[in-house]
Structure 1
Amino acid sequence: MTDRHASAHWEGDGKTGKGTITTQSSVLDNNPYGFNTRFENEPGTNPEELIAAAHASCFTMALAFQLQEAGLKATALDTKSVVTLVKDGDGFKVTKSALTLTAKIPGIDQAKFDELTGNAKTGCPISKVLNAEITLQATLDQG
């Protein structure tokens, strides 16, 4: 079992208040977040961006392990996750994480690529925790 932690601090109300987030590794160390960073694209982070980063990195690592088990090794795996936040009654809800992958993997055919990317999409721990639609657009770069 592995436990990881992060912490958040907040001062003020929901719209004008300000917060900071810190991660165990200190990659984020009192990084600002608030209404303006979440809904108005001001500098700082937001929960959806952090979910997107977690999902993209988790999926990519899961795929690397899928490839390793198949005796393959990627030259490059580049994944983007776009997390969608929508109004839901009086609040909001994350409804989707759209993964887009471009991969360079010597010696793999399209069928094996589709199989392994599908396994990584459903098998990565972040996919398992999300209560949202997960899509994957995966492109194998043969060049």
Structure 2
Amino acid sequence: MTITKHGSATYEGLGKDGKGHVSTGSGALAAQPYGFQTRFEDKAGTNPEELIAAAHASCFTMALSFKLAEAGHTDGSVTTSAEVSLEKDGDGFTVTKSALSTKGKVPGMDQAKFEELAADAKANCPISKLLNAEITLETEFEG
């Protein structure tokens, strides 16, 4: 089974002077602005690294949720943030790291099992597999 999703981007003008818009096929993002200033100068709008961070956090969180359900749990919550690092690499840049930080609250579960399932989710979520970068995971748990 293959599931295909779509995203698109337009960039008008070139280099630092250009301005772009990014959209998702679902419409969740529609013509969101991006460009040099939103990527390197912290101006309003989005950037590819922020979108990767959101994708990684959401993919990992869903993967962990499924691992928790497979372990027999029916109630709880998981919240994850991801920080994606973009570093200078010769004449260009490379995404070098995605740091996941997750908090879980699952009644009747102990922290050791939560950490085990979180590590499995980190290794097996599709976005983790896609990234050719260091992926770290920090957990916080409340049973």
- What TM-score range do you get, normalising by the shorter chain? over 0.9
Q: Which runs of 4+ in 1 moved over 6 A?
A: none
For residue 4 of structure 2, what is the amino acid of its counterpart?
A: D
- Residue in 1 that maps onto 2:91: 90
Secondary structure of residue in 1 paired with 2:81: strand
- Residue in 2 that maps onto 1:17: 18
Matched, 1:65 2:77: no
Matched, 1:99 2:89: no
Secondary structure of residue in 1 paired with 2:135: strand
For residue 74 of structure 2, what is the amino acid of its counterpart?
A: K
- Residue in 2 that maps onto 1:39: 40
Q: Where in structure 1 are there 5+ consecutive unaligned residues?
A: none
In the aligned structure 1, how far is the partner of 2:9 from the partner of 2:83? 23
Instruction: Give the alignment's TM-score, normalised by structure 2.
Output: 0.96
In the aligned structure 2, how far is the partner of 1:71 from the partner of 1:131? 32
In terms of mean alpha carbon deviation, does 66-75 or 88-97 score higher? 66-75
How many residues of Structure 1 are paired with residues of Structure 2 in the alignment? 142
Measured after TM superposition, the shift of residue 110 of structure 1 is 2.0
In the aligned structure 1, how far is the partner of 2:140 from the partner of 2:53? 19
In the aligned structure 1, how far is the partner of 2:76 from the partner of 2:68? 11
* Post-superposition CA distance 1:97-117 (Å, at most 9, x none): 000011101111122111100
RMSD over aligned Cα, in angstroms? 0.9
Q: Check conservation: 2:111, 2:142, Cα contact below 8 A.
A: no
For residue 99 of structure 1, what is the amino acid of its counterpart?
A: L
* Post-superposition CA distance 1:83-135 (Å, at most 9, x none): 00000000000000000011101111122111100000001000000010000
- Residue in 2 that maps onto 1:120: 121
Secondary structure of residue in 2 paired with 1:15: helix
In the aligned structure 2, how far is the partner of 1:86 from the partner of 1:108? 38
- Residue in 2 that maps onto 1:111: 112
* Post-superposition CA distance 1:48-81 (Å, at most 9, x none): 0000000000000000000111001342211000
Secondary structure of residue in 2 paired with 1:71: coil
